[in-house]
Structure 1
Amino acid sequence: MKCFFEDKRYELEAFILDQKYLSNLQKKFANCTGVFCDYGVAVKDFQHPIVDFDRNNTYIQSEGIKQDFGVYDSPDELLKNNQTEYYQQLKLLMKCQ
């Protein structure tokens, strides 16, 4: 998700992990000091991911991002855009129900 704050644009992860959950993963995989991709986490520096907003971009799944869909006023606007691959996949799933 992208937002404007104090005249600057920031990219904020829309997927949020509880800090306790992340801390426990870091303890369980204490030997991992680089890239980690599992349990909802996909980052380059597993022991020091940038997840707290302090006038910076935040990501917990940065290594799992495939495509930037652009800027939309709301999630509904994104889904109305028939050009997105995500929307096409979502339509197929909805037909299966």
Structure 2
Amino acid sequence: MEEFLQATALVDYTHPSIRQLIMEKGWNELTEYEKIRQIYDYVRNQIKFGYNRGDDIPASEVLADGYGQCNTKSILLMALLRGVKIPCRIHGFYIDKKMQKGALTGVIYTFAPANIVHAWTEVWFEGKWVALEGVIIDDPYLNQVQDRLCSYNGGYIGYGIAIKDKAGINLCWRGESTYIQSFSITEDLGYFDHPDEFFAKYNNVKGAVKKMLLNLLRKRINRQTDAIRKGSMK
């Protein structure tokens, strides 16, 4: 399991801000179950659903931003878990961009790729890999959009969510896998020991032009997701 505990450029759990957070929360003193549960809950609700400058940014930057999407929240989650000696890996996919409609609108949605690079963290717990995709969406945001999801292909999608049963969404971690975007998966890209390997191969914002556009637009996107979270978005 040593390969699933390593620090990397993205999983930078030796960064002072991450080490300080782990110490302040006392996560190293907990049982394995409580380590996973509390770290998962922290990243899900204290790091708001939103958009960073790219997919391949260090965990310490995601923590400083205070928000993240599937890929960046997964990186931070991995760093915190590995920082308390919990083995974890990354599982990559392509997902249908229709799932993002509502969170992304107008020209931003139009120019998003049809298939978006998506990843979730898997943690080794009680002899099996457990998916923690549910970490993406915070409760205040979910509470505002759950009734706005559109019926699609036998499930419900929109606002960064793709789920089979919108009435049965439960993102609390109690030892089993949690999912929130998995209904829109179009292709499984496999397992990777580290996110650095995955995002070197698959990335939504490869190239200088895409990175520049995202940096210009992401503040606008995050203002919109904050408006949704506060209930002020019509």
TM-score normalised by structure 1 residue count: 0.69
The match for 1:47 is 167
The match for 1:66 is 186
Residues in 2 aligned to 1:51 and 1:66: alpha-carbon distance in whole angstroms: 22
Q: Which has the larger share of strand?
A: 2
How much identity, in percent, do the aligned residues show? 34
Residues in 2 aligned to 1:15 and 1:39: alpha-carbon distance in whole angstroms: 15
Q: Find 1:35's aligned residue among 139, 150, 155.
A: 155
Say whether the 8 Å CA contact 1:2–1:71 is kept in structure 2.
Answer: no
Residue 141 (structure 2) pairs with residue 21 (structure 1): yes
Secondary structure of residue in 2 paired with 1:25: helix
Q: Which has the larger share of helix?
A: 2
The match for 1:56 is 176
**Cα distance 1:14–1:67, how it changes in 2: closer, same or farther (>3 A)?**
farther
Residues in 2 aligned to 1:70 and 1:14: alpha-carbon distance in whole angstroms: 19
Query: Per-residue deviation at 1:29?
Result: 3.7
Residues in 2 aligned to 1:69 and 1:58: alpha-carbon distance in whole angstroms: 19
Higher relative contact order (CA 8 A, sep 6+): 2
Query: What are the Cα deviations for residues 5-41 of structure 1, in whole angstroms up to 9, with x where unaligned?
Result: 1222111217611112111223x449x7x72100111
**Cα distance 1:62–1:50, how it changes in 2: closer, same or farther (>3 A)?**
farther
Query: Per-residue deviation at 1:95?
Result: 5.1
TM-score normalised by structure 2 residue count: 0.32
Q: Find 1:7's aligned residue among 112, 115, 127.
A: 127
Residues in 2 aligned to 1:8 and 1:51: alpha-carbon distance in whole angstroms: 19
Residues in 2 aligned to 1:14 and 1:73: alpha-carbon distance in whole angstroms: 20
Say whether the 8 Å CA contact 1:35–1:42 is kept in structure 2.
Answer: yes
The match for 2:103 is none
| Runs of at least 5 residues in structure 2 that lack an aligned partner in the other structure | 1-120, 213-234
Say whether the 8 Å CA contact 2:162–2:181 is kept in structure 1.
Answer: yes
